[in-house]
Amino acid sequence: MLRKMKNLPAGESGIVLVFVAIGMLVFCGFAALAVDIGHLQVVRNEIQKAADAGALAGARGLWPDNIDSDNNAYVSIKATPNWPVAQQRAQAVIQSAYNAVDKSAIDLANVTIKAIRWDYKTETFAEDNTNPNGVRVAITIQTDRIKTFFTRVVNYVIPDQSATAIAVMDYVNSVGPGCLPIAINKRFAVKGQSLFINFTPDPLDNGGWFADPPDKASAVTFRDYIDNASCPALEVGEYINLQNGQDTSVLDALADKLAKHDEGYWDTYLPVVNTNQFNQQQPIIAFLPFRITSVSTTGNEKGVTGTVLGTAMAAYGEPGASDSTMDCLLLSAPKLVS
C-alpha cells in the first residue's frame, strides 16, 4: 500500500491517508454504536423483568401467605386483599439484587406501584385501593444511569428507558382438567360447613354428581373422572349435567383415591351450582375448596363426608370470576395480564 502511495502524484497520498483515517473512525463509531444498542436492549430487558417480578410479587401479596403451599393449603377464613402488604412485597422484589438494572439496584424513586382493579372483558384497569385484584408497576431509568460509550462521545441523548407490568391474583373463572364429579349447592357453600352428601334425591340437595357435556351423567363417566382425572377443564357459566344416585362402584372408586392420601383427608376443589335439586342441567357459578374426610360405601348411609374450606389457591386456574359474596372461593395463582 505504501509503495503504491509513493507512486501517487504529489499531495494525493496525504488525501488517501485522510480518507483511510476517516473510514476507520466511522467504522469504529458504528461498532461502538452497535455495542451501545445491544447494551440498551439488555437494560430494557432488565427493567421489564424487574417490573414483571414486582407486579407478580405484589399481586401475590394481596392475599395471605398461608394459602400457598405445594399441596394447596387452605385457610378457614374469608381472605380480603391487603394492599399495604402487596406494595411492600412489590418494592422488596424490585429492589432485590436479582432485579438489578445495569448492575445497580433500582431506586424506588424511579418506581410507581399502584393497586388496580382489572376488568377482564375490556382488558382495562382503574386504580382501586379498597378492593384490588391486581398490581401495576411502572419503572423508569434515567439516561445518566445507563452506561454507554459512543452515544456519549457524539453527545447523543439516550431517551429514558421504562417498562410497565400488570399482574392479577383473583378468584378463578376456570380450572384445568381433573375435577372430581361432585358439585355443591350454593346454599351450603359456607366456610366451615360440614356436609354429608348422600347422593339421594331430596327436596333440598346439598350436592350431587355431575358430568361435563357431552359426557353423560352416568356411573361410567363418574368413575372415569375419579380414576383417570378425565373431567375436562371447567369454566364459570358453563352448564353441567347434574345427577343423584348412590352408585356403589363410584363411591368405591372415590374411597380408593382417598385412601392414597396419607394425611387422612383429600383437599380438592369443586364447582358450585345454584339449585336445590340435582337432576337437571345448571351453570357453574363458582369454584370452592373442599376437604373430603371420609367416604361411606356400605350400609344405609352411603355418601361423602367433607368440609367447605375458606380461601384457597388453585395450582391451575385462570382468574376472572365475577364478584361474589361467598367466603370460600378458589383463587388463581398470580398472573401477568399486561
- Tell me the pLDDT tens digit for each residue of 182-220: 999 999 998 889 999 999 988 899 999 999 999 999 999
Q: For 87-156, what is the HEC assignment?
A: HHHHHHHHHCHHHCECCECCCHHHEEEEEEEEECCCCEEEECCCCCCEEEEEEEECHHHCCCCHHHHCCC
The answer to whether position 147 is within a domain reads: yes
Whether 68 and 129 map to the same domain: the answer is yes
Whether 138 and 244 map to the same domain: the answer is no
Q: What is the pLDDT of residue 136?
A: 98
Choosing from 144, 169, 194, the residue where a domain stops is 169
Residue 292: which domain range? 174-336
> Burial level of 212, CB count in 10 A (0-12/13-18/19+)?
buried
Whether 307 and 244 map to the same domain: the answer is yes
Whether 137 and 179 map to the same domain: the answer is no
- Tell me the pLDDT tens digit for each residue of 255-281: 999 999 998 999 899 999 999 999 999
Q: What is the pLDDT of residue 330?
A: 85
The answer to whether position 206 is within a domain reads: yes
For the chain, how many structural domains are there in total? 2
Whether 44 and 132 map to the same domain: the answer is yes
The answer to whether position 70 is within a domain reads: yes
Separation between Cα atoms, residue 116 and residue 134, nearest integer Å: 5
Q: What is the pLDDT of residue 309?
A: 86
Separation between Cα atoms, residue 38 and residue 105, nearest integer Å: 21
The answer to whether position 314 is within a domain reads: yes
Whether 209 and 331 map to the same domain: the answer is yes
- Tell me the pLDDT tens digit for each residue of 8-55: 555 555 565 655 556 555 555 555 556 666 778 888 899 999 999 999
Residue 64 corresponds to which cell in the numbers above?
395471605
Q: What is the pLDDT of residue 196?
A: 96
Average pLDDT over residues 78-101: 90
Q: Are strands 207-211 and 239-243 parallel, antiparallel or unpaired?
A: antiparallel
Choosing from 124, 152, 169, the residue where a domain stops is 169
Choosing from 169, 194, 228, the residue where a domain stops is 169
Percentage of the residues of the chain whose pLDDT score is greater than 70? 80
Whether 274 and 208 map to the same domain: the answer is yes
The answer to whether position 109 is within a domain reads: yes
* Helix or strand run (H / E) with residue 159: none
Q: What is the pLDDT of residue 25?
A: 55
- Residue 131 pLDDT exceeds 80: yes
Average pLDDT over residues 142-160: 66
Whether 83 and 190 map to the same domain: the answer is no
The answer to whether position 6 is within a domain reads: no
Percentage of the residues of the chain whose pLDDT score is greater than 90? 58
The answer to whether position 1 is within a domain reads: no
Whether the predicted model's global pTM rises above the 0.95 cut: no
Separation between Cα atoms, residue 245 and residue 200, nearest integer Å: 5
**Around 82, how many Cα atoms within 13 Å sit in the side-chain half-sphere?**
14
- Residue 110 pLDDT exceeds 70: yes
Separation between Cα atoms, residue 247 and residue 199, nearest integer Å: 9
The answer to whether position 324 is within a domain reads: yes
- Residue 151 pLDDT exceeds 80: no
Angle between the 219-228 and 248-259 helix axes, to the nearest 10 degrees?
10
Residue 157 corresponds to which cell in the numbers above?
441523548
Between 191 and 62, the higher pLDDT residue: 62
